[in-house]
Homo-oligomer: A and B are copies of this chain.
Amino acid sequence: MKLHAPAWVAAYRRGQLPGDLIAALVVTMLLVPQGLAYASLAGLPPQLGLYASVLPMVAYALFGTSMVLSVGPVAVTALMTASALAPIAAPGSPEYIAGAIVLAFLSGLMLFVFGLLRLGQLARLLSHPVINGFIAGAAILIIIGQLRPLLGIQSQGDTALELLWALLGSASSLDPLTSAIGVGALLLLWLARRHLATALERMGIPGPQATLLSRMAPMAVVLLAAAGVALTGIGDQLAVVGSLPTGLPQMVWPALDWSLLTALWLPALIISLITFVESVAIAQAFARQAGARIDPNAELRGLGAANLASAFSGAFPVTGGFSRTVVNAEAGARTPLAGVLAAGLMVVVLLFATGLFRSLPNTVLAAVIIIAALSLVDIKGLKHAWRFDRLEGIAFGGTALGVLLAGVEAGVVFGVVFSLALLVWRASHPHLAVMGRMPGSEHFRNVLRHPEVECDPALVIVRVDENLFFGNAEGIEERLFAIAAEHPEAEHLILVMSSVSHVDATAADMLEYLNATLADRGVRLHLAEVKGPVMDRLEAGTLLGHLSGEVFISTHAAVCQLSPAGR
């Protein structure tokens, strides 16, 4: 891989600047409260959320391929960071922060190396129901976890049950002032999300601007709350963000000691996988709208560079965020310059405006997180998956439940293992169809679904609806013998191979045995519609030399020759 300026730099047109600039402004307005909130969700000092929003955006702009993806702190990776670091150290402690840096470093390194190795296809191991189930489960876990700072309750727990149990047990410690501010902020944010754009339009503001303005609601609520607390002087009765350091992040080198590496490589791998899958899904959705393309391997490098940049900034894992990307695209971003400009604005915030958030109550950050997480719980998607196929619904719901009951990593592992096991199980239990000819055609269909088809009792035509491999060879053999036994008059068994794209050695052994046994019983075995690649394979084996029957180009050709009377 050669390092050179990204393609969008050379192709940049002046006309793209206004869109990129407005997008940078709007995204920054969203990124500041989200950064503060997600850092605290990750158990880290709030300023790290701002640090994670400067260099990572620039690094992604240099290496990534999406024009609009907004990379930075995101709720699900923040949760995964907290979950990975919980066994290592106490949240906020220097060891904990060092762990977060190592986690970002390892994730970044893995993503970058996977990109160099062109392993973008690895992400295909996650099916849509598994991804959606994972995100829904993580979002519910986030919401339950944020009830604690929202209501000012002291409680702890890793899984949803533990959290709920701890919340119930300490519900009496609920702080009325904190709860009132938090629930108020929650209501405001919810109303803004649901109704603000429409309300602004009714006030005569054009649609697109109204939508953009409504996106600034989190920043407005945050500033309002901080100002309110500062002015009323109730900051000492509440948990507040406190004074943030002014200035840019200092460059750090991750403390790569052996025990940290062994404890964090697996969480880092899972964070990498989720980071990548989520980002690519978002980037691809937007690229499709614009008729552009995403290169998954370049995305791996882009996200890897962003996470390495986050580690060197002393922060935590980052990825492409859905809500910020929507805002970025809606606000008119045309190139990654929007991200670079947003990073520049974030520098301005860090240099001059951190004081604004000193009196910001933590409960308002919890409200920001809860509102963002709510939109990730995709009940419609669960219904859709369930209606399409019960087993897909189980993959969705099982992954979500796995995340809730056993933690984020266990949830992902359950989802991947369940989908792969399902794949093997399905392939091991193939559909077989006994076929007959549709009257007046050369086309053959299942006799059970099309009772009108014509059959010749001397011919049994069976279509096997799966590749032949070790997992199903024995089962198919048994069922073919059973079918042959049900047709005692048959002299020919025609195996229609139209659905068979691969035959392995175990299945080739089975076909040899089937052929020999049927021949002993006076039944000849024929193959029809054998695909090219399968024929190549069979020619390398010994079956064709022993075959009692013939290989026909089509089922029709087989029937014409074997049953001339039946034509």
Give the B-binding residues of A (Cβ under 8 A): 121, 124-130, 288, 384-385, 387-389, 392, 419-420, 423-424, 426-428, 430-431, 433, 438, 441-443, 445-446, 449, 465-467, 469-475, 498-502, 504-506, 508-509, 513, 517, 531-533, 537, 540-541, 553-554, 556-557
- A498 CB contact (under 8 Å) in B128, B424, B499: B499
- Bound-state CA distance A465–B467 (Å) is 9
- A428: B residues at CB distance < 8 A: 121, 124
In the assembled complex, 13 residue pairs joining A and B whose CB atoms fall closer than 8 Å, in A order, are: A124-B470, A124-B474, A128-B505, A130-B470, A288-B517, A389-B505, A423-B424, A430-B501, A431-B531, A433-B532, A442-B442, A442-B443, A498-B499
Of B128, B442, B472, B506, which contacts A129 at CB under 8 A? B506
A501 touches B470 (CB 8 A): no
A-B contacts besides A431-B533, A442-B556, A499-B499, 4 pairs, CB < 8 Å: A392-B504, A392-B505, A442-B442, A445-B553
- Contact across chains for B501 and A127 when beta carbons are under 8 A apart: no
Q: How far is the CA of A424 from the CA of B122 in the complex (A)?
A: 11
Contact A426 B502 (CB under 8 A): yes
Distance between Cα atoms of A427 and B498 in the complex (Å) = 16
Q: What's the least CB distance linking A368 to chain B, in Å?
A: 31
With A388-B508, A423-B469, A505-B392 as known contacts, state yes or no: A441 contacts B124, CB within 8 Å.
no
Name which of A384, A385, A470, A508 has the most chain B CB atoms within 10 A of its CB: A470
Q: Which residues of B contact A424 (CB under 8 A)?
A: 420, 423
List residues of chain B with CB within 8 A of the CB of A427. 423, 427, 467
Given contacts A389-B537, A424-B423, A532-B449, contact A469 B505 (CB under 8 A): no
Q: How far is the CB of A191 from chain B (nearest CB, A)?
A: 32
> Which residues of chain B are within 8 angstroms of A388 by Cβ–Cβ distance?
505, 508, 537, 540-541
Determine the chain B residues whose CB is within 8 A of the CB of A504 once the complex forms.
127, 389, 392
Q: Chain copies in the assembly?
A: 2
Nearest CB on B from A370, distance (A):
28
A391 to chain B, nearest CB (A): 9
Query: Which residues of chain B come closer than 8 Å to A557, judged between CB atoms?
Result: 443
Q: From B126, B430, B505, B513, give the contact of A470 (CB < 8 A).
A: B126
What is the CB-to-nearest-CB distance from A351 to chain B, in angstroms, rounded to a whole number?
43
**Assembled-state Cα–Cα distance A489/B65 (Å):** 30
Asked if A127 and B470 sit within 8 Å, CB to CB, the answer is: yes
Question: Knowing A121-B475, A389-B540, A499-B501 touch, does A554 contact B128 (C-beta < 8 A)?
Answer: no
A-B pairs, top 8 by smallest CB distance, nearest first, are A127-B470, A465-B501, A442-B442, A443-B554, A128-B506, A392-B505, A498-B498, A127-B506
Contact flag A556-B443 (CB < 8 Å), given A420-B424, A537-B389: yes
Q: Residues of B contacting A419 with CB < 8 Å?
A: 470
